[in-house]
Structure 1
Amino acid sequence: MKNCLAPIVIFTYRRLINQTIESLLSNELAQDSELYIFSDGSKNENDLEDVIEVRKYLQTIEGFKSIKIIESEVNKGLADSIIDGVTQVIDKYGKVIVLEDDLIVSTDFLEYMNGALNFYEKDKKIWSISGYGPKLPCLANYNDDIYLTVRGSSWGWATWKDRWNTIDWHIKDWNTFQKNKDLIEKFNLGGNDLYKMLELQMLGKIDSWAIRWCYNQFKFDSYTVYPKKSKIINDGFSDEKGTHNSGVNNKWITELDNKTITFNDTTIKKEIIECFQHYHNLSLITKIGYFLKKNTGYKIAKKFYKYLKNQ
Structure 2
Amino acid sequence: MQIFAPIALFVYNRPKHTERTLKFLKQNELAAETRLFIFSDGAKTPEEEENVMEVRALLKHADGFKSVEIIERKENMGLAESVIAGVTRLVRDYKQVIVFEDDLVSSPYTLTYFNDALNRYRKEEKVMHIGAYMYHLKENKLPESFFYRAATSWGWATWERAWDHFEPDIDKLMKGFDAKKRAGFSIDHQMNFWKQMKDFKKGKNNSWAIRWYASIFLKGGLTLNPSQSLVNNIGHDGTGVHSGINDIYNVIINPKPIKVFPKVIAEDKEAYEAIKGFLSTRKGSFVERVKRYLKEMRLFR
Q: Post-superposition shift, 1:138?
A: 5.1
Contact 2:229–2:251 under 8 Å retained in 1:
yes
Match among 235, 243, 246 for residue 244 of structure 2:
246
2:5 is the counterpart of 1:15: no
Q: Post-superposition shift, 1:127?
A: 1.4
Contact 1:177–1:184 under 8 Å retained in 2:
no
Question: 1:288 matched to which residue of 2?
Answer: none
Contact 1:105–1:232 under 8 Å retained in 2:
yes
Question: 2:287 matched to which residue of 1?
Answer: none
Q: How high is the TM-score relative to the length of structure 1?
A: 0.86
2:134 is the counterpart of 1:130: no
Q: Post-superposition shift, 1:305?
A: 8.3
Query: Cα 1:8–1:192, aligned 2, differ >3 Å: closer, same or farther?
Result: same
Separation (CA, whole Å) in 2 of partners of 1:129 and 1:177? 23
Separation (CA, whole Å) in 2 of partners of 1:23 and 1:269? 30
Q: Which has the higher helix share?
A: 1
Secondary structure of the residue aligned to 1:11 is strand
Separation (CA, whole Å) in 2 of partners of 1:117 and 1:34? 16
Secondary structure of the residue aligned to 2:220 is coil
Secondary structure of the residue aligned to 2:91 is helix
Cα-to-partner distance string for 1:54-98 (whole Å, 9 max, x where unaligned): 000011111111111000111111100000111011110000000
Contact 2:148–2:271 under 8 Å retained in 1:
yes
Separation (CA, whole Å) in 2 of partners of 1:154 and 1:173? 22
Separation (CA, whole Å) in 2 of partners of 1:154 and 1:171? 18
Contact 2:101–2:155 under 8 Å retained in 1:
yes
Q: Post-superposition shift, 1:212?
A: 0.2
Question: 1:192 matched to which residue of 2?
Answer: 191
Query: Cα 1:221–1:111, aligned 2, differ >3 Å: closer, same or farther?
Result: same
How large is the Cα RMSD of the aligned pairs?
A: 2.3
Match among 258, 262, 265 for residue 261 of structure 1:
258
Letter in 1 for 2:60: Q
Tell me how many residue pairs correspond in the alignment: 289
Separation (CA, whole Å) in 2 of partners of 1:45 and 1:282? 42
Question: 2:108 matched to which residue of 1?
Answer: 107
Q: Post-superposition shift, 1:176?
A: 3.2
Question: 1:28 matched to which residue of 2?
Answer: 29
Letter in 1 for 2:271: I
Contact 2:40–2:70 under 8 Å retained in 1:
yes
Q: Which runs of 5+ in 1 are unaligned?
A: 286-302
Query: Cα 1:98–1:310, aligned 2, differ >3 Å: closer, same or farther?
Result: closer
Contact 1:149–1:276 under 8 Å retained in 2:
no
Query: Cα 1:57–1:27, aligned 2, differ >3 Å: closer, same or farther?
Result: same
Question: 1:233 matched to which residue of 2?
Answer: 232
Separation (CA, whole Å) in 1 of partners of 2:200 and 2:46? 27
Question: 1:71 matched to which residue of 2?
Answer: 72
Among all aligned residue pairs of Structure 1 and Structure 2, give the percentage whose two residues are the same amino acid: 33
Q: Post-superposition shift, 1:175?
A: 5.6
Q: Post-superposition shift, 1:183?
A: 1.9
Query: Cα 1:114–1:261, aligned 2, differ >3 Å: closer, same or farther?
Result: same
Separation (CA, whole Å) in 1 of partners of 2:281 and 2:73? 35
Cα-to-partner distance string for 1:244-280 (whole Å, 9 max, x where unaligned): 112022x211111121212231443323212213423
Query: Cα 1:171–1:35, aligned 2, differ >3 Å: closer, same or farther?
Result: same
Contact 2:155–2:231 under 8 Å retained in 1:
yes
Q: How high is the TM-score relative to the length of structure 2?
A: 0.89
Letter in 1 for 2:256: K
Question: 2:160 matched to which residue of 1?
Answer: 161
Cα-to-partner distance string for 1:77-122 (whole Å, 9 max, x where unaligned): 1100000111011110000000000000001111111001111111
Separation (CA, whole Å) in 1 of partners of 2:133 and 2:283? 25
Letter in 1 for 2:36: L
